[in-house]
Amino acid sequence: MKEKQKDNVSIEDLAIFCKKKGFVYPSGEIYGGLAGFWDFGPLGVELSNNLKKEWWKFNVYQREDLVGIDGSIITSPKVWEASGHVENFVDVSVVCKKCGYKSKIDKHEIGITSCEKCGGEYEVKGEFNPMFITEVGPIKGDSTKAYLRPETAQLIFANFKYVQDNARMKLPFGIAQIGKAFRNEVSPREFLFRTREFEQMEIEYFIEPKQKCPYLKEIGTKEIFILDKKMQDSNEGSKKIKIIDALKKKIIKKDWHAYWISKYFEWFDLMGADLNKFRIRQHLSKEKSHYSEDTWDIEYNFPMGYRELMGFADRGDFDLKQHQEYSKKNMELSLDDGKKILPHVVCEPSLGVGRALLVFLLDAYHYDEKRKNVVLKLSPKLSPIKTAIFPIVKKPEFEIIAQKIFDDLKKEWNVVYDKSGSIGRRYARNDEIGTPYCITVDGDSLKNKDVTIRDRDTTKQIRVKVSELKNVLRGLINSEIEFEKAGKLLN
Ligand code: GAP
């Protein structure tokens, strides 16, 4: 396929690009694939791992009030009875009478919603619970019905008391988890947007009931697009406003909601996303999940329009109360004054890895008219390959130095050594997959023990001593130094 020669790629074009370059393949495609399942290729696994590592760093390592867990995908089915998923996690399968488009809607939307493709009337095909069912135990008749988890969150609630005790956490505190979740979606579609197997990065943040957020000073001053219930009811459209002002004006009611939404804007910004394509939208009462008191979503303007990127639900004490009742285990915590309380989850930031990957890939994709190739402008923190090392020509004197640099850098990063093709071709290959820096060993390197580093986005080059290379690269990848000041600027 010829690369799409524009920046605004469709989701289908992005899927083709991702397959061609080795980011994401349709799962089991040699047998025709299976809808809603995707495999990550050599670049995709690196990108996804970098994304999860950066999320974990920001939310767990850089905070004293958060610790992580890694729960099991299959757990006691009682967990899902207590959480309400067995009874209340229900979708309605529909088919458009006019165009045949298959979709799922929520129960409350029956008779109200029309086909998102052509506006036709939906015919209800039945209700179903999207949890995948499996059997635990190999002997028929002696096995237990169990579920593949539809969200990671419940393992946090079920382990809440152990984690609080082991990590000696005091309210307010959070527990984070990254892991697979499974939903038997009626109509998986739009590449990684709606899949049947996906990964979530979730935080359950526990507070004393009515405890105020002490971190409001950290909320930045950037304006964001906001669409609350009232604006939706009156068809006003979204407003651009600072998060802190939205809180003061009670558009966002809870301080913790404002705080966590601002933290995610900060993180997406740090990771290089285009915040102009973001907005936050409050759920209408009829949309809220069975456990939620108030929910806000961050939505992103995908090629198919504004869609949910992630959610921030106020789950109150719903989950701990349910697990306390079903398990008969006390989930309360003792405060310093001896009072016992059931903590509340005032905010549950929940982000799908696949949807986050779509955002970063869509924002990074640029077709460069001058270079006549795609330049994938990913943040260096996320880039699958941090640097490519080239000897300018295939001659031992250049190759020995380049190979030595490669051997040193690969101890710290995923880097490649590339000696085939012209320098221009090698640059283009790396631009297309988002490698932020290319290092070339050239004629001057032999005399001066230095190399050139070329910046992917500007094509500018600097010369840097080999002895300083690792430190310079570390500074560049972590956005601690500016490229043009990191060495002697050449062009
Ligand atoms: N624990 C709360 C929870 O699971 P959710 O809104 O159902 O809430 C949270 O899911 C996030 O997980 C979504 O905002 C989205 O990023 C991701 N997600 C949910 N279903 C998905 C699917 N079928 N495919 C890809 N990502 C999905």
| Spans in the chain with pLDDT lower than 70 | 1-7
Three-state secondary-structure class, residue 372: coil
CB of 331 within 8 A of CB of 345?
no
DSSP designation for 41: -
User: What's the predicted TM-score (pTM) here?
Assistant: 0.95
Interatomic CA distance for residues 204 and 353, integer angstroms = 17
> What number does the ligand 1 atom closest to the CA of 195 have?
24
Supply the pLDDT for residue 4.
Answer: 58
Which of 103, 104, 149, 350 best tests ligand 1's pocket when mutated (most atoms within 8 Å of CB)?
350
Supply the pLDDT for residue 7.
Answer: 66
Which of 190, 308, 351 best tests ligand 1's pocket when mutated (most atoms within 8 Å of CB)?
308
CB of 405 within 8 A of CB of 451?
yes
Supply the pLDDT for residue 142.
Answer: 81
> What number does the ligand 1 atom closest to the CA of 194 have?
24
**For atom 16 of ligand 1, which residue has the closest CA?**
352
Residue 482 corresponds to which tokens in the numbers above?
A: 């500016």
Ligand 1 centroid to 106 CA: how many Å? 15
Ligand 1 centroid to 238 CA: how many Å? 23
CB of 186 within 8 A of CB of 93?
yes
Q: Which residues line the pocket of ligand 1, CB cutoff 6 A?
A: 151, 153, 183, 185, 194-195, 198, 200, 202, 308, 310-311, 348, 350-352, 354-355
Which of 85, 151, 205, 360 best tests ligand 1's pocket when mutated (most atoms within 8 Å of CB)?
151
Ligand 1 centroid to 296 CA: how many Å? 13
Supply the pLDDT for residue 1.
Answer: 41
Supply the pLDDT for residue 187.
Answer: 87
Ligand 1 centroid to 200 CA: how many Å? 7
Pairing of strands 223-227, 239-242: antiparallel
Pairing of strands 373-376, 365-368: antiparallel
